[in-house]
Amino acid sequence: MQEAALAPALPTPVEGTDPAAAAAQERLEEQIAWYDGKSRHNQRWFKRLKIGQIVIAAAIPAAAAIGAESPPLAVAGALIVVIEGLQQLQQYQQNWTTYRATCERLKHERHLYAAAAGPYAGAARPGALLAERVEGLVSQEHAAWVSQQREAVQGASA
């Protein structure tokens, strides 16, 4: 799925328009692309690790039923624990959903701005308002990310 390629870009600024608006639009597009890419990356890793856990967990009782030796079964069980530990440390699922939510909120701002709707309707300086709102969304997400990283590290050391 290539949402970024399919999504309509903001209108290209015409000569004589507010350079701040053009900068805000550029920043918005960069942030949408970044969050979209990071969301996909984290989704792929989360699903890979989870599928690996499921396959290994299902293989353990099957292998035991056919008389597999204990050491390989113990290694498989330990591998499940390691994979889960990586997932908890890297927070792939949480990052995936958080980045996706931020990306979608940024797209929402793009559409409101392009349509001169919502907070942009009648705004004296819509480009400046766009910049403020984009930076607000990015700052909120960054603060949440920092908090999640602290919790993950504390949880791993507990």
Q: Is the pLDDT of residue 116 over 90?
A: yes
Q: Is the pLDDT of residue 146 over 80?
A: yes
Extract the tokens encoding 151: 């919790």
- Averaged pLDDT score across all residues of the chain: 88
Q: Which residue has the higher pLDDT, 70 or 146?
A: 70
CB atoms within 10 A of CB 42: 21
pTM of the model: 0.79
Residue 13 has what DSSP assignment?
A: P
Query: What are the residue boundaries of the structural domains of the chain, listed by start?
Result: 29-157
CA angle 17, 20, 26 (to 5 degrees): 100
The string of pLDDT tens digits covering residues 17-47 is 678 889 999 999 999 999 999 999 999 999 9
Are 79 and 56 within 8 A, CB to CB? yes
Query: What are the φ/ψ torsions at residue 14 (nearest 5 degrees)?
Result: -90, 160
Q: Is the pLDDT of residue 10 over 70?
A: no
pLDDT for 12 equals: 45
- What residue type is 49 in one-letter code? L
Q: Which residue has the higher pLDDT, 108 or 151?
A: 108
Q: Which residue has the higher pLDDT, 157 or 133?
A: 133
